[in-house]
Structure formats: C-alpha cells, structure tokens
C-alpha cells in the first residue's frame, strides 16, 4: 500500500487493540484510516474515524486502565506502535515531546464537550 | 505539518471549560531572563543562522520555529547549506548508512513527523546476524517495520530513476514549511561584530545574527572556521568508515536481502563491525574498523557469509560509488558559547550507532534552550549541556559493551554460544528473548547503552549465556580428547 513503509499492515476490519485489553503502547497511523469503536452490552458505537498521522491509544501510556475503545482498520491501514518505555524515557529527557499529546487530548476534550452540548440540545 | 490552533476561544470566540491546556501562557516562560545575562535571549525579529541543512540543522530549525510560534515569538531562521539534496551523487549526499532507528522513528512520529513511503525506501523488521559459525534472524516481537532504511541524498552517482525523496530533503522541507529560509552557499568566514556573530557565505556580504547554530558534519572543512574563532572549540575526535553502494534492483533485493538488515561479526583483523542495508534499488555496505582500506574491504566481501547473503550474480567490484567518511567517536566538552551552539555530529553524538537519533536529541535540546532559557553560554550550560552529557556518559558504557562484542568476535566458542542462545530464543514463541533484545538494541542503536548493559547483568541472561558457553565449549574439548585418544 502507498503512504508509509513503516508500521504494520492491518486488513479491513482487523482489530489493532480491543476495548478492555491491557495496553502499554500508543499508535500513530502511517497510512489509511482507523475506526475508534466503543462496545457496551454487545452494541457497538462508532466514536470517530481517525486519519493518517493521528495519535491513538495515548491514554494507555498515562493510565493503568484497560483500553477504553477498540481500534479497527477501516480498509487497509498501516499503523506504527509507540512503546511506553521509549516514550517515557524520552519525555523524561525532553518534556516538550508531550506538547503534541496535550494538544491531541485537548482537542478530544473539546470535541467531547461539543458532543455533550449537542446531545443535551437534542433532549 | 503541525499547525497550532488559536488558543483560548472556540469558533464563536467563547472560552470553553476545556481550554485549560491551551491557555497555559508559555509566553511568560519565554520572556523570563536567561540565567547569566538578560540581554542574551531571542526576541521578536531575532536572526538565527543554522550552518548545515542536514538532519541536525533541519530538526533544530523546525523545533526552534515551532516552539517560538507556541510562545508567540517571531524569528528569522536562515539555513545555510551548499548541497542540493535533490541531486544525486556527492552534490546531494551526506555520506551515511541511512538507518533511522526504531526509537527515532517513534519519537518523530510522536512529534508529528511521519516518514512517508517516498522517503523510507524499505521498512526493516529484522536483523540477520552472520558469523562464521552460522546465521540467525532476530525479528521484532511486534512483527512491524520499525526501522527505516533511507538515503541521505536522492541516491548514488549512477542512480537510474529518482523514485525516492532524500531523508535530508524531507526534513529540510519540513523546516521550510515551519518558516525557515534556505541560503544555498558555503560559509567561508565567521567573525564577531558588536558582540554578535557574523557569517559570510562565499561571494556574498557578511550577515549578522543573534544566534548561530553550527550543524556541520565532522567531515566538513568549514568546522575549521570555528576552531580559530576563540571559542575554545575543537572538532570531535573521529574514526574512518567505508560506505559502498551497489545497484541490485528492487526485485532482486526483495528476493535476497529482504526486509532484514544484515550485520556481520567476523573475525577479520582490523574489522570492528560491518552491515549490509537493503534500500529501494540499492544496498549500502558499511564497514567500521581500524585504518579501513580497500584490502580490508576485499577480504570482507569475499567471505562466504557476505557471498551467501548477496545474490549469486553479484560482483563485489561492480559498485555504484564508495566513500570513506569519518564518524565522531568522542564529543566536544563544551559545544556552546554565548550566541553559538554546536549540534549534531560536530557537538556530541552517539558512539557508532544512531547518529541521526543523537542529532535529533541535541538539536531539539538546543532549540528548546534557545526559546525558553536564552542564548548565553550559561543558558546552554543549564539547558543544553545535560542532553549532551547524557549521550556522552552513555557512550562510556557503550565502549564497554563494544569491548564485549569484540571479545565475542574474536572467540569462536563465544560466537557459537551467542548463536545457540539467540536461535533458541527465536524458535520459542512468548518467551522473553534476552540475548535477542540485547543484540537488537546493540545493532539498531534503539536503546541507551546503559539499558543494554544492565540487561546483560540480569541473572536470567547470565544463566542462559553461561549455559550456552558451557555447551559450546564441551563439544570442542570432547573432540580434542577423542582426537588425543586416537593418537
């Protein structure tokens, strides 16, 4: 596939990580798209479709909690795994590497806030 | 590209409850006076010269501008580079094996700098270790392409088709997108005027800057300009390497070398380490050793181990190009002064491995210091020196680990033991691969040497190695006894 020589290729529908799994890594999409899906009582809710270049699964780096959502390839996707150990070693040496993660998390909180406002308005 | 959004307000101009991260006023931090001198800070309109447009220069410029934007600082950054990374052969070549380590790939991706398929000619997912006692493949547990094989320029002298973008050009483009300006030329004079550095490129008038970041390689004659500037700077001590490029074609490489980097631990006098790195249509052969010359290369290329991994039709003398660049082996003690900082190879780099990874670390530390702490000698001592010291101290441990590798290289039963232990680990799924991970990180340069060294002190590693050494020695002594009895 075009768009990136690094990472691992996942076929359409292939699970990258499953909700509830224990995680020690985050991911950067090198090519293609990835679905972020939450499962509750056997029902799936599509939270968003992540694009190439996006960081995913970053919460597992900072929290000792199971994965909050399933990541699944939408079409063929190439995904690079970022090790927690490598990342923590680097953040210890250079805290500014976290700028982008803070930005990503901030962006997600903003999106969630907007979603709450939209849902409340619909009631 | 990483585009910071306007802070503090939503699309209607209202503050939201989630703006706590974005409203953090980093501008105040930037305006704090630098330790030692209030005047030696970057301010709006400050001019920065970056001498050298390789990875160190581009990464420094990119992060300097990116962090300056975050704190609302407008800087003018000139990258002075004589080479053209879009042209093949020496004019665009930076003389390097072209391996982007696992840790650097991850760090850049986390920073938002993803390397596209146009730049990474081949993703590497394993190492093939070749010794006279046998070969073993060491694969990444994640089955991922985690190392990038690139060329620093667009390709060797006889490149047939410009299929890929050079790594250096890709990074340079990112720094241009961030706002840097490239001045194509060679610096031929450096001086001081009113306490500020003055830089002249060949055929042009001198330009005065507030800060000069020197990002030259150790092979650059231009470093001499700084050795005579009265800063107390002396270029790092270095050793000679040899790099050869061979055209094999993508299909042949896929069939033979595949997506593995081939490393050789051979008991050849004067040869420390050798590797064959598959790229797109070419392979790079890199040799490290004492007084490398063509005779040593001939001995290496004619070994059965090299002949065995290259295609049968390959001829060792049919190379596309060859260079013998020097690599730094010991960093400089004080890679900074007021308004001057030395980054990448001409400052402090990693011993033998992951030079580009070290360039990323030192360049970013220098950029961070310049934006947040100042550009005085004292500011660099506080903010930049710790990053250099971490690398330099780790190199001391690296020397010990390379000494151990040398012992293995010279001792046949030790080579057999390493092979036995690694093969056993690679055959077992789900088990901790202690020797494999040590070798992987030694060859790829992905982990600090201290980490690798500490892993070799683990009782399980020592136990496994002792057992492998024992089983490697016993057959040899039994054989001797049998031979003795026959006599």
B347 and B447 housed in the same domain: no
Whether residue A91 lies within 8 A of chain B, CB to CB, comes out as no
- Give A-chain residues touching B385 at CB under 8 angstroms: none
Q: What is the pLDDT of residue A10?
A: 96
Contact B62, B175 (CB under 8 A): yes
Classify B252 as helix, strand or coil.
Answer: helix
Task: Show which of B281, B308, B327 is a domain's final residue.
Answer: B327
Last residue in a domain, options B281, B307, B327: B327
As for the ipTM of the complex, it is 0.92
Residues of B in contact with A7 (CB under 8 A): 123, 144-146
Residue (of B445, B56, B474) closest to B261 by Cα position: B445
- The whole-number pLDDT of residue B485 equals 54
Domain span including residue B260: 120-152+237-327
Which two three-digit tokens encode residue B263?
A: 């490393």
- CATH number, domain A8-122, options 3.90.1170.50, 3.40.47.10, 3.20.20.10, 2.60.120.10: 2.60.120.10
In a domain, B296, yes or no: yes
Residue with tokens 């406002």: A117
**Among the three residues B345, B367, B395, which one is the final residue of a domain in this structure?**
B395
Classify burial at B105, counting beta carbons within 10 Å of its beta carbon; exposed 0-12, middle 13-18, buried 19 or more: buried
Q: Which letter does DSSP use for residue B1 in this model?
A: -
B7 occurs within a structural domain:
no
Report the length, in residues, of chain B. 487
Residue A51 contacts B, CB cutoff 8 Å: no
A31 interaction partners in chain B (CB closer than 8 Å)? 117
- Chain B contact set for A5 (CB, 8 A): 115, 117, 120-123, 145, 148
**B348 and B301 assigned to the same domain:** no
Which tens digits make up the pLDDT trace of B388-429?
Answer: 999 999 999 999 999 998 899 899 999 999 999 999 998 887
All residues at 6 or more sequence positions from B459 whose CB lies less than 8 Å from its CB, including other chains = none
Summarize pLDDT for B242-269 with one digit per residue, the tens: 999 999 999 999 999 999 999 999 999 9
CB atoms within 10 A of CB B91: 13
**Cβ contact, residue pair A80, B144, below 8 Å:** yes
Give the chain A residue whose CA is nearest to the CA of B10: A110
More confident residue, A102 or B22: A102
Question: Which positions in chain B have a beta carbon within 8 angstroms of at least one beta carbon in chain A?
Answer: 2, 4-5, 10, 16-18, 21-22, 63, 67, 70, 102-103, 105-107, 109-112, 114-117, 120-123, 142-146, 148, 361, 364-365, 368, 387, 390, 446, 448
Query: What are the tens digits of pLDDT across the range A61-117?
Result: 888 889 999 999 999 999 999 999 889 999 999 999 999 899 989 998 999 999 899
Measured in angstroms, the CA of A5 and the nearest CA of chain B are apart by 5
pLDDT tens readout for residues B431-451? 788 999 999 888 888 889 999
Query: What are the structural domain ranges in chain A?
Result: 8-122
Q: How many residues does chain A have?
A: 123
* Interchain pair A106, B18: CB under 8 A: yes
Best of A5, A81, A84, A92 to disrupt the B interface (most B CBs within 10 Å) is A5
Helix H, strand E, coil C: the string for B259-276 is CEEEEECCCCCCEEEEEE
What was the pLDDT predicted at B143?
79
| Cβ contact, residue pair A8, B390, below 8 Å | no
Give me B62's structure tokens: 């990119």
pTM value surpassing 0.95:
no
**What are all long-range contacts of B436-440, with beta carbons under 8 Å and residues at least 24 apart?**
B436/B138, B439/B127, B439/B129, B439/B138, B440/B127, B440/B138, B440/B140
Residue B338 lies in a domain: yes
Give how far Cα B189 sits from Cα of B51, B198, B455, Å: 12, 8, 48
CA atoms within 13 A on the CB side of B342: 27
Q: Are B465 and B320 found together in one domain?
A: no
Tally of structural domains, chain B? 3
Of B103, B146, B361, the CB nearest to A6: B146
Query: Pick from A5, A101, A107: which is nearest to B117 by CB?
Result: A5
Would you call B182 helix, strand, or coil by DSSP? strand
How many Å apart are CA B80 and CA B50, to the nearest integer? Answer: 6
Q: What count of Cα atoms within 13 Å lies in the side-chain half-sphere of residue B322?
A: 12
């Amino acid at each position: 596939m075009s768009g990136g020589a690094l990472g691992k290729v996942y076929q359409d529908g292939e699970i990258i990580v499953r909700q509830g799994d224990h995680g020690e890594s985050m991911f950067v999409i090198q090519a293609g798209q990835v679905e972020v899906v939450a499962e509750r009582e056997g029902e799936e809710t599509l939270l968003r479709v992540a694009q190439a270049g996006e960081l995913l699964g970053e919460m597992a780096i900072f929290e000792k909690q199971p994965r909050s959502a399933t990541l699944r390839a939408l079409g063929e996707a190439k995904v690079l795994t970022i090790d927690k150990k490598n990342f923590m070693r680097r953040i210890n040496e250079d805290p500014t590497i976290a700028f982008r993660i803070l930005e990503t998390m901030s962006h997600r909180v903003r999106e969630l806030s907007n979603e709450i406002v939209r849902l409340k308005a619909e009631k | 590209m990483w585009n910071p959004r306007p802070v503090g307000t939503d699309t209607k101009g209202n503050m939201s409850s989630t703006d706590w991260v974005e409203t953090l006023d980093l501008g105040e931090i930037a305006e704090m006076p630098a330790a030692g001198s209030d005047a030696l800070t970057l301010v709006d309109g400050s001019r920065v010269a970056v001498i050298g447009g390789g990875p160190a220069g581009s990464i420094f410029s990119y992060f300097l501008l990116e962090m300056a934007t975050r704190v609302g600082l407008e800087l003018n950054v000139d990258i002075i580079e004589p080479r053209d990374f879009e042209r093949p052969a020496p004019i665009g070549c930076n003389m390097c094996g072209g391996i982007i380590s696992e840790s650097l790939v991850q760090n850049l991706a986390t920073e938002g700098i993803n390397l596209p398929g146009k730049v990474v000619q081949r993703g590497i997912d394993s190492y093939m270790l070749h010794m006279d006692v046998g070969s073993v493949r060491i694969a990444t547990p994640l089955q991922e392409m985690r190392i990038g094989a690139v060329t620093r320029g667009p390709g060797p002298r006889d490149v047939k088709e410009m299929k890929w973008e050079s790594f250096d050009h890709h990074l340079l483009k990112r720094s241009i997108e961030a706002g840097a300006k490239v001045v194509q030329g060679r610096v031929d004079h450096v001086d001081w005027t009113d306490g500020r550095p003055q830089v002249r490129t060949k055929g042009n008038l001198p330009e005065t800057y507030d800060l000069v970041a020197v990002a030259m390689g150790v092979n650059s004659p231009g470093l001499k300009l700084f050795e005579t500037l009265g800063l107390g700077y002396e270029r790092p001590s270095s050793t000679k390497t040899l790099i050869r490029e061979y055209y094999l074609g993508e299909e042949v490489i896929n069939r033979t070398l595949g997506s593995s980097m081939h490393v050789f631990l051979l008991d050849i006098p004067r040869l420390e380490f050798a590797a064959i790195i598959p790229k797109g249509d070419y392979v790079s052969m890199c040799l490290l050793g004492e007084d490398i010359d063509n005779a040593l290369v001939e001995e290496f290329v004619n070994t059965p181990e090299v002949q065995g991994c290259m295609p049968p039709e390959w001829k060792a003398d049919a190379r596309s190009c060859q260079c013998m660049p020097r690599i730094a082996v010991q960093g400089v003690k004080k890679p900074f002064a007021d308004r001057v900082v030395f980054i990448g190879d001409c400052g402090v780099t990693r011993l033998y491995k992951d030079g580009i990874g070290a360039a990323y670390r030192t360049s970013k530390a220098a950029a961070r210091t310049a934006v947040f702490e100042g550009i005085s000698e004292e500011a660099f001592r506080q903010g930049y020196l710790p990053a250099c010291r971490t690398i330099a101290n780790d190199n001391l441990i690296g020397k010990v680990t390379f000494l151990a590798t040398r012992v293995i290289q010279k001792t046949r039963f030790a080579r057999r033991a390493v092979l036995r232990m690694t093969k056993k680990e690679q055959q077992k799924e789900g088990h901790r691969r202690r020797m494999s991970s040590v070798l992987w990180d030694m060859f790829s340069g992905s982990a600090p040497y201290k980490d690798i060294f500490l892993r070799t002190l683990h009782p399980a590693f020592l136990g496994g190695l002792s057992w492998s050494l024992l089983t490697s020695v016993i057959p040899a002594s039994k054989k001797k006894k049998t031979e003795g009895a026959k006599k």
